[in-house]
Chains A and B, each alone.
Chain A
Amino acid sequence: MGVIVEHFPLYAQGFLQTLRICLFSAVGALVLGTILAGFRVSPVPPLRAVGSAWVTVFRNTPLAVVLFAVAFGLPELGVNGSYFYFGVIGLTCYTAAFVCEAVRSGINSVSAGQAEAARAIGLTFSQSLSLIVLPQALRTVVPPLGSVIIAMIKNSAIVGAFGVGGDLFAQGIQLTSAQGYAAAGVLTGVLLGYLLLTIPGGILLGVLERKVAVAR
């Protein structure tokens, strides 16, 4: 356990790196996933096709394969860039598929009459989605979305293995195998780091859930 105190700066760096990966990916996945959900319920068939293709591909592919494809596929195609962004792109694309489905189920939970009334006063499809349907979908979407984001935080440990490095889990690996500390002690620190991300995340979601529930 002394290792946690002894190498606190290393843990702190790892924590910040994981936080950075998660923040970028969460924002990316929430935005992209919501747009994809919009695609899936849109009246335009090609958009619907893109939405369902995305979900089919990314929801049914292991994250490690997605990350592999991004980190090694893009350079193969001549796209070079930092592994940090490759990792964020991979995690974003993957998580967006789950966000999309959570948001879509929320959209379906809003009664069809709401969208009809919105269209009847002349709102466009995207206005009706963003002003009427999504705000009401939010209430049902928050809990599943919370699970998706918490899963994403944990998944970020896999991102570290694709050249990104420096994240919480990678720092743990570095301490155990390169510096020979006992795995149990090191991983306790790693675990605490992840809990420090996920538990406040969960509390924040609870607060948000109550807030959106009141707003009606």
Chain B
Amino acid sequence: MSDRVLEVNNLSVVYKDSTVFGKRRDFQAVKNATFYIDHGEIVGLVGESGCGKSTMSKAILGMLDDAEITGEIKHYTKRPQMVFQDPHGSLNPAKTVGWILEEPLRIFGKYDEPERKRRVLDMMTRVGLEHELITHKPSELSGGQKQRVSIATALIQRPRFVVADEPVSALDVSIQGQILQLLLNLRDELDLSYLFITHDLNLCYSICDRVVVMYKGEIVEQGPVEEVYEHPQHDYTKSLLEAVLK
């Protein structure tokens, strides 16, 4: 237990119908989810869109304001972060790369300006961004560069646990591999654990240690990747895998 990063017990998320008039129609997006992530692991969260995987990851990071959350979410690390699917939307369009990267450190408030600048440049090197991009705005960057900035922003406060929400699905196929390799390298360099959300089962197989399968808001199956892929127990997992392996 000493090397747990995250523990989720009986998590349920219900979206309340916000209209005052008319019938209330609540929507249960996540039902009784229980799983964990250990130190250094990459855990894949798979399922078709609308199955509740995004909602669950947002609930885990406390990003849902308008839903009722029950159950237990235990973080064993400080300041968990998120890499968003669409780097175009996750970077403030009005600011420069340098400002965007420095902002988490300003909020963190522990370092003086020269130290912040040093850390920004250091992180840019780590994620493979040329230093001269520091004065550019997100709109002047390529998709791959934007996602590198987005990763750097998530990592600059030095979290130990990161939720990656489909981090490559918005990118060109040619760049996807580079960004995935970057995420793997950074895990080793910076001692990270990932919750990796994806709908791509091949991708999940190639990088994840364990996999959690969600269907209609429920976790239907979980376990080490090889085990689940070779001996799927639930019908839904079987049909998913069949579709991919065809």
Are A and B bound to each other?
A: no
Chain B interface (Cβ within 8 Å of chain A)? none
